Amino acid sequence: MERETLTKLLNSVKTGAVSVEDAALKLRMEPYEDIDFAKIDHHRGIRQGVPEVIYGAGKTTEQIIGIALRMLDHGENTVLVTRISPETAEKLAERLPFNFNEAGRIGLIGQKPVPDGIGNIVVATGGTSDIPVAEEAAFTAEALGNSVTRLYDVGVAGLHRLLARTEDIMRAQVIIAIAGMEGALASVIGGLAACPVIAVPTSIGYGASFKGLSALLSMLNSCASGVSVVNIDNGFGAGYLANMINHMGRER
């Protein structure tokens, strides 16, 4: 149940259109719904401002559709689905209005909302190979109601490429810095920006990068203040956190 739906229910009780008993029954039924293979958290939108997100990896298409349909039946306008293959996306699109981002392996059932965040979220990558993680982050942020600027392939091997976009960096409300290899991009951006920086290490790199561990440790040891770090390849987590920062103080 979204906050808007909850408000309508409470107003209906106030006007007498819905009895107190019926409203209480609906709220008791809301916390979660057991559909055998999943327990859907219908109260998450009320608690956190964002409804439950479906993690698609390991789920069958029918399971994803089953969860999504129950969420839509409970008043959600959109449902975000992460980590899915193009084949799964194609099957979803046959049953539901589905907007798929193939690069990020992420999709949205329903239409992206009009951005209502405080400012702009910048998503920057060290290299082109980091784009799949970046698209997961950018699409997540857009699906949650944010305006996003993409700065791709602006890594430290050619620092002038990043400096050419200094205005975007300075104007951002929050920045997501995504890089593999040695993960230096987050520290550089952290030293330029006046806003929070969310660092995302990626598994891109040669042997001694240890599938993203080297970038992770570099980002955790950043000497730039205001840099936080999410898990390796976790574009969704970065996009979600950026959305929370970009909506701080604004009623969702």
Q: What is the pLDDT of residue 252?
A: 52
Q: What is the pLDDT of residue 178?
A: 98
Where among 58, 88, 109 does a domain terminate?
A: 109
Give a yes or no: residue 251 inside a domain: no
The type of residue at 163 is: L
**How many separate domains does the chain show?**
2
Give a yes or no: residue 5 inside a domain: no
The sheet carrying 197-201 orders its strands as 147-151, 120-125, 174-179, 197-201, 227-229
More confident residue, 65 or 19: 65
CA angle 106, 216, 212 (to 5 degrees): 65
Q: What is the pLDDT of residue 2?
A: 59
Q: For residue range 22-35, what is the model confidence (pLDDT) as tens digits?
A: 777 666 666 777 77
197-201/39-40 β-pairing? unpaired
Of 87, 153, 108, 102, whose CA–CA distance to 132 is shortest? Answer: 102
Place of tokens 């046959």: 94
What is the domain range of residue 80? Answer: 18-109
Q: What is the pLDDT of residue 28?
A: 60
Of 125, 155, 133, 122, whose CA–CA distance to 245 is shortest? Answer: 122
The type of residue at 200 is: V
User: 82 and 125 share a domain?
Assistant: no
User: 48 and 136 share a domain?
Assistant: no
The type of residue at 158 is: G
**Residue 19 pLDDT > 70, yes or no?**
yes
| Mean pLDDT value across residues 143-170 | 95
Q: What CA–CA distance (Å, rounded) separates 244 from 241? A: 5
| Mean pLDDT value across residues 234-240 | 98
Q: For residue range 81-129, what is the model confidence (pLDDT) as tens digits?
A: 999 999 999 999 999 999 999 999 999 999 999 999 999 999 999 999 9
More confident residue, 18 or 121: 121
